[in-house]
Amino acid sequence: MRLKGKVAIITGGAAGIGKATAKVFVEQGATVCICDVNEKVGLETAEELSCTFSKVDVADRQAAQEWVDEIVGNFERVDVLINNAGILRDGLFVKVKDGELVKQMTEDSFDSVVSVNLKGVFNCTQAVAPYMIRKGSGSIVNASSVVGLDGNFGQTNYVATKAGVVGMTKVWARELGRYNIRVNAVAPGMVLTEMLLTMPKDALKAFEQRTPLKRLGTPEEVANLYLFLASDEASYISGEVIRIDGGMVIGT
């Protein structure tokens, strides 16, 4: 029961890595509150795991604040924040044929990914931080990605957000450490989530071959890393970005 007595909130908790994290946190004794934009799946997950669910768009500052305020009103504290919510809108930065521009990443694709993946992390963390400061402790774990460290073809918007999350993690570890609040980031590689399973099978096979462990990761493996960083076992770890990618380096 590594999280017994703790209140943990997880964004993007309806499915994939978020759901796996909610499951292991409940099993380890935490009171778990998840949010997601997918209300139907979120309610199903909450019922299955015996946790609470709220429909929240983390890009909406007011909605994020109201969610956190409600949780503190109900449970009097927040001990753990897992900033897991994220979206993809992949596309080439520019595509040129015979010297002519034929396509480029749209402004909307860039803005929507930044709003959720970067601003959403900012919104939720800023909503939670004052409560953790008053309590004198807390653990915040942000979802980055190996592509935020290495870059990746066709993901200008996504890479920018995940690199930005690394930067914010470093800043917050410095600013919040005096209040006994730890801030870390996790950088998963290719993990078998619903999102990844929409890719062609030959592409998934190629990722497996490029990974030294010769397989893709599972949501449970990432959830276990979230668990470690959230728990007191990681009490002297802050400001770190931990890769969980089977040894894979994007682009090799």
The catalytic residue positions are: 158
**CA dist., res. 95 & res. 97, Å (int):** 7
Cβ-Cβ contacts under 8 Å for 144 (sequence gap 6 or more):
162, 163, 165, 166, 169, 185, 186, 187, 241
Q: Are 250 and 146 in contact (CB under 8 A)?
A: yes
Alpha carbon of 155 to those of 2, 38, 89, 94, 188: distances in Å? 37, 24, 8, 11, 15
Residue 235 burial (10 A CB sphere; 0-12, 13-18, 19+): exposed
Question: In the numeric block, which tokens belong to residue 168?
Answer: 């914010």
198: nearest Cα among 44, 36, 90: 90
Question: In the numeric block, which tokens belong to residue 116?
Answer: 């959720």
Q: Are 16 and 4 in contact (CB under 8 A)?
A: no
Q: Are 170 and 182 in contact (CB under 8 A)?
A: no
